[in-house]
Structure 1
Amino acid sequence: MRRTPWNIFFHVLVGLEVCVLSHPDPAMVGRCGVVIDETARTLVLRDKSGKVFRVTKRDAIFEFRVGRVSVIAEGELIVGRVEERLKRLEKGRGLVVRYVLREGRWYTRVEAPGENV
């Protein structure tokens, strides 16, 4: 199945472009790269200069690029391995996809049900 803005969190994130929009460690904010590895709690990114760095998922907000679309997601939604994310969906947590206009661009925002935007 092809990765789309609606289903990327149920696939392996390796190969996607990502930017860190918010993170408890201020040094991580604004860092961008391609996901080269994913663990249950971290993403390993390679930036354009070739430098590799590890970013924790929890308490962060990420902007993933899927084709020409940006997907903004809280790290809490992607914590765990792919199998664990699928199990959370099956248990009824599901995800809600909303379109958000931010700074003149449309983004897809993925959130847990019941969140207020």
Structure 2
Amino acid sequence: MNSIMHMPWIGRELEVIESFDPTYIGRKGLIIEETQRTLIIDEEGRQICLPKQEIDFKIDREEIVIKGSFVLQRSEDRIHKKYRS
């Protein structure tokens, strides 16, 4: 898990696996921006803003599911943070 957590996510494929909001489940697209609280993806030419707090997702079809609430920080801070397995 540490390797994907320490990589930049912009330009990578995201798929929402679980969410409090059922309209987010199954959404897929390229990450075009990351803020402290959101991920913005390009889904078939449309920009979709996903609140990190409300989603669990996979990056680049990895087996690891990332809890959005676990990564509520800026990408620069996330890349340098130490995570426990």
User: Do these two structures clear the TM 0.5 threshold for a shared fold by scoring above it?
Assistant: yes
Which TM-score tier does this pair reach, normalised by the shorter chain? Answer: 0.7 to 0.9
CA contact (8 A) 2:17 2:25 kept: yes
Residues 1:55 and 2:50 aligned together: yes
CA contact (8 A) 2:34 2:75 kept: no
Q: CA deviation at 1:15?
A: 0.9
Contiguous gaps of at least 5 residues in structure 1: 97-117
Contiguous gaps of at least 5 residues in structure 2: none
Aligned runs of 1:1-117 on 2, under 5 Å? 6-47=2-43, 49-65=44-60, 69-85=62-78, 86-87=80-81, 89=82, 94-96=83-85
For residues 83 and 23 of structure 1, what CA distance do their matches in structure 2 show? 25
Q: Give the structure-2-normalised TM-score.
A: 0.83
**Which stretch shifts more, 8-17 or 27-36?**
8-17
Kindly name which structure, 1 or 2, has the bigger radius of gyration based on alpha carbons: 1
Q: Percent identity at matched positions?
A: 27
Q: Which has the higher contact order (CA 8 A, sep 6+)?
A: 2
Q: Give the structure-1-normalised TM-score.
A: 0.63
Question: What is the aligned length?
Answer: 84
